[in-house]
Structure formats: structure tokens, C-alpha cells
Structure 1
Amino acid sequence: MEDIQMTVTETRERLYFAYGSNLNEADWARFCDRIGVATDVIEAVGPAVLPDMQLCFDYYSHGRQGGALDIAPMRGHVVHGVLYRVSPRGWTALDRKEGAPNFYERIERLAVKPDGSMVKVFTYAVTAARRRDFCAPTAEYRALVAAGLQASGLPIDGLNAAAENRPPRAEIDHVFVYGTLLSGERNAGLIPAQCVKARQPATVAGALFDTGNGYPALALQDGARGVVQGECLQIEDLPALLGTLDRLEGFAGYDDPAPLFYRTIVEAKTKGRGAVKAWCYVGARAGMFRDEIVGGCWRSHLVELAVGKRATP
């Protein structure tokens, strides 16, 4: 099982997750020139998202003469950004630009990479003492952040919602299920039928394992070895349902030190709608990945187990 990934990957040095003005290369270059450091003290690695977070403007920046971006918890939503490697001088520069620790503070979070794996990162959030009600950004600052996001190929919907002080749209409205939440299985009733806008057979790159506890666990893979079979459900107001699903899956949030499952984001391939981004619960403990279910289908595995029991004298 050499190609099985644990959900959370560890890096030798903690990466930085940028979601605001630091995505704008010109703005970063101006600051670096002012303090006398090279711009390459931070180096872009690739895109990622902060799960269960939203952008907001709850801080007044005298330097920006208006609201400056912050992040706040919001289940079922994501904040788009870019991961960076940072040198020691880079952390000093970032702390200085963010006014850490007096205005913003460096915090640790889990970021989800495009392949569904997670990585521990540092990012910046406004300190509790500096937060206030909505602070409208200037048009210049909003355009600066938008340009940085777009240059990185990232959407600006969350930025626009935050700048206009309106609730963000939940961009992920699908969940991929592969075990006891499948239609007809014992926990399917936790997903009310009236909430399901569409249900389609789907697959996700990975491997499926029998945990020995009456439920399976999915392990991420790069797609070269196998797929897991299940269903992709489009849900009306999925964020409202995720609390129920989180409790079932033993997931108490991204700061939970010992979850049973992690909730991550995968690409589910459906027969009707093609590939869609979906929330998915993947095994969080190495001991889950011992007895692989060949073919990646929990239902077929249950049938085989039932047949085996009947054949046993």
C-alpha cells in the first residue's frame, strides 16, 4: 500500500497560506522595496483552500484607509489562497507587513490542496482586540486583492461577498458518500430526502478499506491504482447538514487532534454531470487501512461477507 496517503501531510517547514493583499505581486514588491528585502523571501508553491472559513472585513486599517481582509469560521465554506515557502527573513517581513502580533497574529490551520490532502500552514488573522463590525474596504484595496486572486487563477466571489457585507455562497454543494450513508444503508436517513437535489453514482480516486467496525474508510490516492465507488449527492443548503454528518464521522473540526475521519474536498466523477468538487470523509487513522476492499465498493463487499457467512458451516 505504498501509494496510500495519510490525509494530513507534514512538511519540514511550515508553509504560509496567503489570501489577501500578499497575493498581489506589485503590492508585495512595494513593501519589500520599502523595508529593503528581496521579494523572493517567499516562494509560491500552489493553490489551496482553508476549509470551514470565510473572508470578512472586520478590521479598520489606517494604512489602507478602510477595511482590510480577515478570516472567520463558517462551516461548509472555503477561503481560496496560495501556499508559499518562507525563509526566516520572509517570516520577519510577513510579520512586519501584517503588524504581528499587535494587529494580525500568525495562526496555524489546515489547508486543503487540490488533490484532497491537507497540510498544516500558518496564516494571519486579525487579533480579537482589533476586530469590530463590518469595515468597508476602499475600492483601491478591493481591486488590489481581486487582481492578486485573479492572477493566481482564483475566484473573487468570496471577496465580493465580504466587501459588500453579504453572506457568501457555498460553492461546494455536493457530498460524496461511499459507506453507511449510501441510499438504503443504515445511516442514509441522516440525509433528509427533501434536501437532496440530485443523487448520482460516482467514483473518487482512492482505495477502500474495511475498518472491522461495520463501516469503511477511504484513503486518498493519485488515481493510478484504483477508485472508490459511491454516490455524489447535491444538497440544498449543504453547510446546514454538515454538522450532523461531522458528528457521525467523528470529526470535531480541523483543530481536532484525534479525529476518526477528516472532511476534505475531492473530485468526484459522476456519470451525469462529469467531475464535481465534493466534501468527502476520509480515514484519519493509519490502523484503518489494513483490509483493502478490492474493487472499492462497500455494497459488493457486504454481499460477499453475507455469502461467506452463509457458506461457513
Structure 2
Amino acid sequence: MAQPFTDDRHPAEPYPGTRPEHCFVHLDETGWPVTPDLAMESGWRVEPENVDLDQWLADRGEPPLAGRMPVLGYGSNANPSKVTWLRDELGLVGPAVVLRARCEGLAAVWAAGLRTRDGQRCATLAAAPGSAEEHSVWFATPEQLRVLDRCEGRGLRYRLVRLHTGRVTLQNGGVIDSVLAYTAASKNRLPVLFNGRMVRCSEIEQEYTRHLGDRPVPSDGLDVTEVHGAPSADDWPELLFVYGTLMPGASAWHLMEPHVTGTPDVVRLAGTLHDTGLGYPAFRPGTGPGVPGYVVRLRSPEDALPLLDEYEGDEYRRVRVVLPGGRIAWTYLWTSPIENMPVLPDGWVH
């Protein structure tokens, strides 16, 4: 079983430092390995305690994954010692949740400029058709995102964007569409042009980057939408999996319908549906044959979700789940015990 590790296992120097081969949550100069687990409410398990990641966070008074925003980390932000530096120098608070991701069609490349504070060459992001690299996704709280903004020089050196190029897939199979990322906002953060091409960070180490020069490429090739202002955790995803009274034609569909765009898709989600005896079902995650329901697309998640949270009440908790094929959607989990609740059949009528 994987064990906790300390920062000295992953030094930050030379930039971009080293990174664990697994997902982790980091606090007080220590990282705990995190692994996918469908039986957990969050879909992730913290080792070696064998506890749900959301519970691990709650035990420390911190927001769950549903209250965090996915931000691509392709440079030093995936390094545990850098996380500690962010705490010491920029006031980062709370656990940092850093999940490994396979990035297709994207590459971390050396930038045209150097870091002012130590003269090391920076990494930046670029389109790389046909390629695949392993990087990480921070699930950042709003406060942590403000620290990352300061670290990256948002608006000056890098800009915060929603990334439409490539495919970012977490280790649990979830695909993060339109992931947040910091990409070049100035010429010296554009990829460096050397011998007519960009140079991947994986090709040469920091100490050999001096000879690359400082000529930037005309464009990083990325399709992005710049983020203005502060994004919200409710912004993503736009999809919602409904399995009970909120389904099309069900008793509460009239609450959903004004917020839905497009045609709902029929989907089966891993888990079990139980009969509460109260006229509405209780969904619990797991493996099993799966629960039939619908996936709807919300016109404005940040407007619709607070209304649906109020409708569902304290008996349910909103989480992100991975659908068949890798799409990620919100859904509502039953939070109370399910002992003595019968399992509902597929043909349950609401």
C-alpha cells in the first residue's frame, strides 16, 4: 500500500522539480497518495488511511472536490516542494489536491523567457497534435486559485483560460473538458523557437536550456477562452445526471426543464438505487449493474445548481461523477444510511 511522503522526496530545484508518479493530497510538507475508487462518494481514496478524499478534507475543515476547480499543472505546480513554497511565500492555505492526468494533443515546452527570481527557464503550454504527456490537475479552492494567479502573474506573464485544445483525462477515466490553465500572456512566456521548432521540457533538462535563445514562436497553437474575473466551482461541468424526480416526465421535471438545453441522453451510472419509502430514491455509488437515468446539459450551471441544491435538501450531496465514455457530470448522492432500504428495479415509477 502506498505511504505518505515528505517534500524531500521531490525537490523543487532545478525547475520544474520532480513529481510523484501518483495522485496526491498535500499538507504540512507531506503528501498522501490518492487512488481512484468508485465505492467512495468522491470517487477517490486517500492512502494508507483508506478514507474517502472528501471525508479526509472534511476532517480538516476543508471544501470537498465539488467546491474546487480543476486547473492544469504542467510545470512546477505539480511538485510537492513548490506547494510548500506557495504556502511559505504566497500564503496558500488548506490541502492541495493534485490528481495525475494524461494530456493528449498538448505539451509542456520551454518558454522564450527566464524567471526573474533565479534566471531559470520557464515552462509554458503549447498544442502538440498526436502527442501524449503525463501532467497533473489541481482541484483548487477559490482562495488557492487566487494564490496561483499571483504566482503565475495572471494578466502579465500568463493568462487564465479555459482550454479547448487536446484531451485531459484523469486516472479515474474522467475527461475534463475546458480545463482551466495558465497559458502565455506575454512574448517571453510563449514557447521558444529553436531550430525551427518548439522544445518540449521532457527533451532537455533545465541546465541545458541556456542555448535555446529567446526567440518566441508566433503562436502556441492553443484554442482557448480567456477567463475574466473569478471562476466558480459551479461553472464546470455543465452536465447533470438525474435518476429520480428530476428526470424528464417525473414529478419535479418542471423545476429542471427551464434550465436545460438540448435533448437529455439516456445513461446508466455505476451504483445502486434504493427505495427511501418517501416517494423519492436514494442513489449510492459503487460498481453493480448501474442506475438508469438521464444526462441533461444546463444552460447556466451557476444559476441552476443552487436552486437544485435547495430542492434536494440536506438529505443529498452534490458531487461530480464519471459517466460511461469519460464525460463528467454532477449528480446528487444520498447522505443518510441505506440499511433496510430495498433496491429499486430499473422500472421504478416515480
Question: Normalising to structure 2: TM-score of the pair?
Answer: 0.45
